[in-house]
Amino acid sequence: MKKIPVCVLGATGMVGQKFIELLSNHPWFEITFICASEKSQGKKYKDAMIWRMDTPLSEKIANMIIEPCVPSNLFRIAFSGLDSNVAGQIEEDFAKSGKVVISNSKNHRMDQDVPLVIPEVNGDHLELVKTQKYKNGMIVTNPNCSVIGLAMALKPLVDVFGVEKIHVVTMQAVSGAGYPGVSSFDILDNVIPFISGEEEKVETEPLKILGTLCNTTILPYKMTISAHCNRVAVVNGHMACVSVKLKKNANSFDIVQAMTSHYKDLELPSSPKVPLQYFEDERHPQPKLHRNLEKGMQVSVGRLRKCPLLDWKFALLSHNTVRGAAGCALLNAELLVKKGYIKEVLK
């Protein structure tokens, strides 16, 4: 198969760099265009940012020139890691000009005709793109970085027992704030109990993701979520402590069974073989030990026990820039290709 040319919007940022890392040697996609803000435009990539990934940057990308965020004929898909202050309009312009935009930003997530997708959870919601106003282009979004792990843990419970209420406390890594993000003076020896706009996203996005596609709309799942979001001194990997009230009675065996038997390998280049793992060891999961499982695409759950307020509680972990951002976006693009949506757009 000839590789599909792709662009990375916001290529210099935390998510943009992760896109560049994950797209290197991708079997279906090839980076042909990179964009960022005015301050980076016209520079070689290597001179416009400090590479913060663990793997070496290829010579080819290092020497690519950063372009303005304007659509061109040099690519079909645009992966967006743009700052949300500018993402909304730029992504719309790209979709209008016939590009397939896969976004990490909050701007279009809750638009009625925009799918908010975690491929293993609600890949069927991609149907919504057929209702979009763009002639050949489209916008597909992936959820907030804390929501992705949460929704993946909840989906099996929703399907098997039904979920009524959730109380969730997140402990979010500093890379979630981009680069340079929170200053080291503020975060070391500290926990910051506020992340702007985050609790609203955690309380609303899962309702859309877990909702049902009905003709051309998503009927949101009915449940109540209360979220506390905290920034902690971890580099990568968002943790969450979750309490759930279920609609049906369940025992711990049934819950673990539901979570671990629900997901199958989607058999896409970026899909994990085991998307969700349950740990019996009560000290697990931990960011330092488990965030990179399945190349950062696995969600880890542990410490399932009775909750005296709701029914059950557990801990969960997911890698925020991989499963929670660039990795999920890449998987969305792969699923679009597999389902034939991108071929359609290429016609």
Torsion from C-alpha of 161, 165, 171, 176, nearest 10 degrees: 90
117 and 126 Cβ atoms separated by less than 8 Å:
yes
Under rule CB under 6 A, residue 10 binds ligand NAP? yes
Pairing of strands 4-9, 29-35: parallel
How does DSSP assign 17-76, residue by residue? HHHHHHHTT-SSEEEEEEE--TTTTTSBHHHHS---SSSPPPHHHHTPBPBPS---TT-S
Name residues contacting ligand NAP, limited to 179-198 (CB under 6 A): 179
Identify whether the C-beta of residue 262 lies closer than 8 Å to the C-beta of residue 182. no
- 290 belongs to the catalytic site: no
User: Interaction with ligand NAP in 34-63: which residues (CB under 6 A)?
Assistant: 36-37, 39-40
Q: Which is nearer to ligand NAP, 201 or 262 (CB)?
A: 201
Strands 138-141 and 100-103: parallel
Tell me: does residue 86 bind ligand NAP (CB under 6 A). Answer: yes
Closest CA to 343 of 79, 78, 142, 136: 136
Q: Is 78 in the site for ligand NAP (CB under 6 A)?
A: no
- Is residue 89 at the binding interface for ligand NAP, with CB under 6 A as the rule? no
Q: How far is the CB of 175 from ligand NAP (least distance, A)?
A: 5
Looking at 125, 167, 238, 262, which residue is catalytic?
Answer: 238
- Residue 288, burial from CB neighbour count under 10 angstroms (0-12, 13-18, 19+): exposed
Contact (Cβ atoms closer than 8 angstroms) between residue 171 and residue 234: yes
122 binds ligand NAP (CB under 6 A): no
CB of 154 to ligand NAP, least distance (A): 18
Q: How far is the CB of 146 from ligand NAP (least distance, A)?
A: 9
Question: Under rule CB under 6 A, which residues in 133-162 are in contact with ligand NAP?
Answer: 145
Name the segment binding ligand NAP (CB under 6 A); options: 14-22, 252-260, 274-282, 308-316. 14-22
CA atoms within 13 A on the CB side of 326: 26
Among residues 81 and 275, whose Cβ is nearest to ligand NAP?
Answer: 81
When the beta carbons of 33 and 161 are compared against ligand NAP, the nearer one is 33
Is position 167 annotated as part of the catalytic site?
Answer: no
Return the closest-CA partner of residue 267 out of 120, 127, 122.
120
Site for ligand NAP in 326-345 (CB under 6 A): none
Specify the stretch interacting with ligand NAP by CB under 6 A; choose among 79-87, 202-210, 308-316, 330-338. Answer: 79-87
Residue of 7, 35, 69, 145 marked active site: 145
Out of 104, 243, 270, 277, point to the residue binding ligand NAP (CB under 6 A): 104
Question: Pairing between strand 276-279 and 299-306?
Answer: parallel
Largest CA distance in the chain: 60
SS3 of residue 230 by DSSP: strand
- Contacts with ligand NAP by CB under 6 A lie at 10-16, 36-37, 39-40, 69, 81-84, 86-87, 104-105, 145, 175-176, 178-179, 320-321, 324-325
Residues marked as catalytic = 145, 238
